[in-house]
Amino acid sequence: MSDIAGELARVREAFDKPTLRLLDRKWAPFVLAVFKSSFSREHRSVSCEALHTQVDAYLADLRSIGLDAPEKTGRALCVQWMNDLWLYREISDAGEEHYSLTSHALEALLLVDGLARDRALISESRLTTIVDTVRHRATEANPDREERVRRLDQQIHELSSERDRLSDGGDIEPASNEQMHEGYANLINLIQQLPSDFKRVEESVAAMHRQIVNDFRGEERPISEVLDDYLAKTDALMSSTAEGRAFEGAFTLLRNDALLQGLKADLETILLHPFALELSRTERRSFMSTVTLIRKGIDDVLTQRKGLTTTLREHIVNHDVVKDRELERVLRDVNRELATWMQTAGPRSTVTAELMPGTLDVEHLHERFYDPVAHRAPPALADVSGAAPAAPSLDALRQQGGPLLQELRDALVAAIGVKYGTGEAASIGSAFNGLDASLRRPVEILGLLQLAAQLSPGTAGLERFETVRPDGSVRFFEVPRLILTDDDTAALAAQNLGSEND
């Protein structure tokens, strides 16, 4: 007896999946064209209103050039595609609804792209990848130690021979454009399968999330049983399914920064080959964003897992078993009293019951009880006067303050008088530099300028003021050269005598 019945059942089961249902519909080319035009690797999700508007625009464009198009609106089509499991609607952190393609829609797009590709994928690059992978897995599967050592020695010999040949100046065979195109097509075919793999893992986690939420809301299973089921499903998801194993491998790759940097550098090296000039800008940008594609897919899966873990934590924290038991006991009492009342009540008997209890009329309700500790005096402060530093003297405080105008005026008049006695020009700077160190602080320059502003002396260039700080360090300042005449000096001296000697 043939196996046609079993094969027919398997084929029908495959055709019942959303991927083949999408390809089997009348408007399948239109749906796939919309998905291809609206979604890309850079735009993995589109806001619901924007996609509704885009679909309406696509319908209008097709009708304007005389092509057949569905009669429904963009909103109705998007809702239908969501019910057919081709679109997934989710709410972002900002509260806005977005559409994204499901794994079934991504698989359909990948299949159509493969059929529309002109270059055959059965090439030297594809066969070499298969042979290398089979050889690597065979080495890992073989438990014979000697056979594994023999394989490793053979690889080491081949690599060493090639390295020695190149070191001795051997020729490097450049890869032809045809070979690079075949390898590029093989890589693109593998890379294009990643989004649907990640999406399947994300959908598996989302389905698990919905199931656990329903279990929590149904209150039919204990929390411990739900948690055990969640942990078991998580282990099975990441180990027993193809998409889970792909995710684990990509996650291991993502944790290895050196490997990721090497992958990015290898991608750049491939695009430096002359064959890349025949690629479009979109193809080059898409090829270089492979690392970003891996990171984005893993982030989406981890976000779903984080949401699932958050749901579990919030339910465990907020779920009060005691309150649930109290409510259950009250409801049982109500049912018991209702059964007693129904034994004597007529068919149309009613009972008045308040939906909410009434409020209490209380003038003042204490929110806290008296606590004697709240009125206890604070502890005495510790006596740390013995560790206090010595109090500064009055002279030390004055040295840290502003200019000493009176002492500075007297010293300046005396210094200028000495200058006139020797026949030298009487400038404020020369007189200042001859004063005592206690009167040559940097702040005293401001005092001198204040005194000079009352006299309006003549200026002639700049002169250097040598100042001494309270700590003994010396600083030099360039100040306008102010020349004092005999009348200026007399006026300066008269300021110290007060108003009685005007």
pLDDT in tens, 10-32: 777 777 777 778 787 788 888 88
**Looking at residues 257-281, what average pLDDT do you find?**
80
- pLDDT over 90, % of the chain: 0
Dist. CA 242–CA 196, nearest whole Å: 12
Q: Which residue has the tokens 């081949």?
A: 158
**Looking at residues 58-68, what average pLDDT do you find?**
86
Considering only residues 41 and 333, tell me which one the structure prediction assigns the higher pLDDT.
Answer: 333
Dist. CA 140–CA 137, nearest whole Å: 5
Torsion angle of the four alpha carbons 46, 50, 52, 55, in this order, in degrees rounded to the nearest 10: -80
Cα 115-120-125 angle, rounded to 5 deg: 130
pLDDT digit string, tens, across residues 454-492: 776 667 788 888 998 888 889 999 888 888 777 777 777
**Looking at residues 303-317, what average pLDDT do you find?**
71
The pLDDT, as a whole number, for residue 499 is 44
Distances (CA, A) of 118 to 115, 170, 286: 8, 37, 19
| Confidence check: pLDDT of 185 > 80 | no
Dist. CA 74–CA 61, nearest whole Å: 13
Q: Which three-class secondary structure string do you get for 410-425?
A: HHHHHHHHHHHHHCCC
- Give buried/exposed letters for 247-274 (b at 16+ CB in 10 A, else e): beebeeebeeeeeeeeeeeebeebbebe
Dist. CA 298–CA 195, nearest whole Å: 10
pLDDT digit string, tens, across residues 217-234: 565 566 667 667 766 766
Q: Which three-class secondary structure string do you get for 61-104?
A: HHHHCCCCCCCCCHHHHHHHHHHCCCEEEEECCCCCEEEEECHH
| Residue 227 near residue 312 (C-beta atoms within 8 A) | yes
Considering only residues 452 and 192, tell me which one the structure prediction assigns the higher pLDDT.
Answer: 452
Distances (CA, A) of 8 to 11, 19, 180: 5, 18, 41
| Confidence check: pLDDT of 242 > 60 | no
| Residue 105 near residue 55 (C-beta atoms within 8 A) | no
| Confidence check: pLDDT of 438 > 70 | yes
**DSSP per residue, 330-391:** HHHHHHHHHHHHHTT--TT------SSPPPP--S---SS---GGGGSPPPPPP--GGGPPPP
pTM of the model: 0.43
- What is the average pLDDT score of the chain? 77
Dist. CA 7–CA 5, nearest whole Å: 5
Confidence grade of residue 406 (pLDDT, cut at 50, 70, 90): confident
| Residue 112 near residue 32 (C-beta atoms within 8 A) | yes
- The helix (H) or strand (E) run that includes residue 459 is strand 458-468
Dist. CA 106–CA 191, nearest whole Å: 13
189 by DSSP, 3-state: which? helix
Residues whose CB is less than 8 angstroms from the CB of residue 420 and which lie 6 or more positions away in sequence, other chains included: 426, 486, 489
| Confidence check: pLDDT of 57 > 70 | yes
